[in-house]
Amino acid sequence: MPTDVENWKSEVYGNEVRDRLFEFAEAGFDSIPDDERDAWFERFKWWGLYHQRNGQEGYFMLRIGTPNGVLEPGQLRVVGEIADEYARGPGTNPVFGDAYADFTTRQSIQLHWIELPDVPAVFEKLEENGLSTQQACGDSWRNIVGNPVAGKDGQEVIDAWPVIRDLNERFKGNDDHANLPRKWKVSVTGSADGSGQGDINDLAFEPAYKAIGGDGGEAGDDESEGDGDENGDAVGFNVRVGGGLARNEPRFARDIDVWVPPERVPDVAGGLSALFRDYGDREDRYNARVKFLVDEWGAAEVRETLQEEYVDFELESAGRDVREEYTYNAGEGERNDLIGVHDQKNGANFVGLNVLVGRMGAADVLELADLAEEYGSGEVRLSQRQNVIVTDVPDDALDEFLDEPLLEHYSPDPSPFMRGSVACTGTEFCSLSIVETKNRQVRFARWLKANVDLPADVDEFHVHLSGCTASCAQPQIADVSLRGMKTRKDGDPVEALDVGLGGGLGEDPGFARWVTQRVPADEVPGAIANLIDSFAAERDEGESFRAFVARHDEDELDAFVEPEETDYEDPMLHNTKRTWYPYAENDSMEDAPSTPADD
């Protein structure tokens, strides 16, 4: 039997939701019938709107899709103006204030406290400036990710930006691909550093070389724009399917032995999207991701079905990849992220700025837009580590740009603990989250910076905090993975975190091993400090943290993660989702949301 969500989608979904959304906006939030709210909230996601958590009735999170994280000149300013005018709610965040933008792990932007009557005006302003919320959420093509500096990066193998732009234009709003069994996450990467993180996506196109006139006979023709290597091999993309982190069953995408030149990418991507549409599970939401279909069929059957039913040309076998050069989020190497100053192809520079936990106040967003216009082309790009990149900064303006006061807060050379911090939305707004995340990870990072020293040759250390098992903060691919739980301390319910270790991507990706459960949140910084002390004392010379974790068993690792109270204080420790807003001044049960979470 189809799920409730499938039944709701069969009645109204996709582009047609917009008209009803605007009708409700005109009539007001209360015009949505109580018994239809779950259905409409699910449908609204297709247009980038999530209703916020219990106790925040009438407020929405709005997600803006920015393909590959590209914000063209002027667009960052539009985001800041919308945040400033429309994203102010009744609650004040003690760290970030009243209005802010969140940069996500999928190179998108989220705004909070959006009220339904304001949605038409927000949409109008976004769309007038080339931005959209269409399919930013929902069971369809999500924001396409990749190397955020595609087309500008001096180290890329092939410029993937035209391919990403083409895919976005073809499949966003495409009725044939609008109603999939679940979300469909696509990565297209042209760089040799692996910064598209294709391994954790439903569908990944990764740079690869293929001998011209290979087994399919079509690679390297005139349409492939002449890209190739010194051997005359054409450059295109190998295809992987079925990656993902959500819940407790992460998968790395599987190689299906297919190489495609750039001009064939839309055909193969559309074919695989249609395959998922037709064969994905619509009776079990948990099992409705393509990773489970690949589990069931195997990569060979996926390829065979794609060939026989969804494309009308002979598929090429996989080409020579560059995965041995992947360093992004690998725990070591020069391009572990894109923070700092880097060369562009044209002789200018792109500058990656650290945005702690991805959140930037509206005033700072507007100031950054000013700086991007003053020192660069006005273009800004977003990475999958929740950071921002200012592009096109010429050499003669670089020093002056780096001296700007704003960069003291969004540094191109941050502490490893600041640089490596990623956090999801948490209980501030999310109904699924079990614990507070954004403010907590800020406090964790600041405490670790002030109190813990990494070995001198370790300049990056990733700590990802996810409020639940949904993995929005991508905890399974961090040095230290934190996942929201609850426990009791001194007889009282408190917010707690499971601790995992040793995850990362790169040439040899691996998921974190969960070694310690339900550590009270105020004892987590002490546990990380003890872990780092053990790493510093017992590592082999030059050994990375990931390698250190890999050579120890779970019992040894659990012993390294020794929870400990320190002078760190956690103001959210006893919240346990009891109030309508974690930072409410009157933190009492009278302020509880309508359906409080169980202890």
**pLDDT more than 90, % of the chain:** 89
Amino acid at 107: Q
Arithmetic mean of pLDDT, 88-98:
92
Question: pLDDT per residue over 159-175, tens digit each?
Answer: 999 999 999 999 999 99
Q: Number of structural domains, the chain?
A: 4
Domain-located, residue 561: yes
> At 113, is the secondary structure helix, strand, or coil?
strand
Report the C-alpha gap between 110 and 101 in whole angstroms.
Answer: 6
The answer to whether residues 424 and 564 belong to one domain is yes
> What are the beta bridge partners of residue 91?
none
Question: pLDDT per residue over 343-362, tens digit each?
Answer: 999 999 999 999 999 999 99
pTM: 0.95
Domain-located, residue 368: yes
Question: Quick one: pLDDT at residue 590?
Answer: 56
Report the C-alpha gap between 7 and 43 in whole angstroms.
Answer: 11
The answer to whether residues 428 and 551 belong to one domain is yes
Q: Which helix or strand (DSSP H or E) is residue 101 part of?
A: strand 100-103
User: Which residues constitute the domain of residue 79?
Assistant: 4-128
pLDDT of 247 strictly over 60:
yes
Take residue 484 and report the two structure tokens written for it: 């929201």
Domain-located, residue 143: no
The answer to whether residues 96 and 231 belong to one domain is no
The answer to whether residues 95 and 187 belong to one domain is no
Question: pLDDT per residue over 457-502, tens digit each?
Answer: 999 999 999 999 999 999 999 999 999 999 999 999 999 999 999 9
DSSP-assigned states of every residue in 422-471: EE--GGGT-SS-SS--HHHHHHHHHHHHHH----TT-----EEEESSTT-
For strands 59-64 and 109-115, give the pairing. Answer: antiparallel
Q: How confident is the model at residue 565 (pLDDT cuts 50, 70, 90)?
A: very high
59 CB-near residues (< 8 Å, 6+ apart)? 51, 52, 89, 112, 113, 114, 115
Helix-helix angle 37-44:4-11, to 10 degrees = 70
Domain boundary among 412, 441, 471: 412
> How much is the mean pLDDT over the chain?
94
Domain-located, residue 590: no
The answer to whether residues 574 and 441 belong to one domain is yes
Strands (E), 230-348: 234-241, 254-260, 320-321, 340-343
The CA–CA distances, whole Å, from 147 to 61, 150, 190, 297, 496 equal 26, 5, 7, 30, 34
Question: pLDDT per residue over 405-420, tens digit each?
Answer: 999 999 999 999 999 9
